[in-house]
Amino acid sequence: GQLVRPQQITVLGATGSIGLSTLDVLARHPQRYEVFALTGFSRLTELEALCLRHRPQFAVAADEATARELQLRLRLAGLKTEVLAGEAGLCAVAAHPDVDAVMAAIVGAAGLQPTLAAVRAGKRVLLANKEALVMSGALFMQAVREHNAVLLPIDSEHNAIFQSLPRDFGRGLSAVGVRRILLTASGGPFREMPVSALADVTPEQACKHPNWSMGRKISVDSASMMNKGLELIEACWLFDARPEQVEVVIHPQSVIHSLVDYVDGSVLAQLGNPDMRTPIAHALAWPERIDAGVSALDLFKIARLDFQAPDEQRFPCLRLARQAAEAGGSAPAMLNAANEMAVAAFLERRIRFTEIATIIEFVLNAEAVVSVEALQAVLRADSRARELAQGWLQQHGC
Ligand code: NAD
Ligand code: MG
What is the CB < 6 Å shell around ligand 1? 13-19, 40-42, 105-107, 110, 128-131, 155, 212, 214-215, 217-218, 276
Tell me if 18 is assigned to a ligand binding site: yes
pLDDT value for 213:
85
Determine the atom of ligand 1 nearest the C-alpha atom of 132.
32
The rounded distance, in Å, linking the Cα atoms of 192 and 214 is 21
Domain boundaries, the chain: 7-153, 328-398
The whole model's pTM is what? 0.98
pLDDT value for 211:
86
Residues surrounding ion ligand 2 at CB below 5 Å: 155-157
The protein residue whose alpha carbon is closest to atom 31 in ligand 1 is 107
Q: Which CATH entry fits the domain spanning 328-398: 1.10.1740.10, 3.40.50.970, 3.20.20.70, 3.40.640.10?
A: 1.10.1740.10
Which residue numbers in the chain have pLDDT < 70? 1-3
pLDDT value for 230:
98
The protein residue whose alpha carbon is closest to atom 39 in ligand 1 is 214
Residue 180 alpha carbon to ligand 1 centre in Å: 29
SS3 assignment for the chain: CCCCCCEEEEEECCCCHHHHHHHHHHHCCCCCEEEEEEECCCCHHHHHHHHHHHCCCEEEECCHHHHHHHHHHHHHCCCCCEEEEHHHHHHHHHHCCCCCEEEECCCCHHHHHHHHHHHHCCCEEEECCHHHHHHHHHHHHHHHHHCCCEEEECCHHHHHHHHHCCCCHHHCCCCCCEEEEEEEECCCCCCCCCHHHHHHCCHHHHCCCCCCCCCHHHHHHHHHCHHHHHHHHHHHHHHCCCHHHEEEEECCCCCEEEEEEECCCCEEEEECCCCCHHHHHHHHHCCCCCCCCCCCCCHHHHCCCCCECCCCCCCHHHHHHHHHHHHCCCHHHHHHHHHHHHHHHHHCCCCCCCHHHHHHHHHHHHCCCCCCCCHHHHHHHHHHHHHHHHHHHHHCCC
pLDDT value for 209:
84
Residue 227 alpha carbon to ligand 1 centre in Å: 13
CATH superfamily of 7-153: NAD(P)-binding Rossmann-like Domain (3.40.50.720)
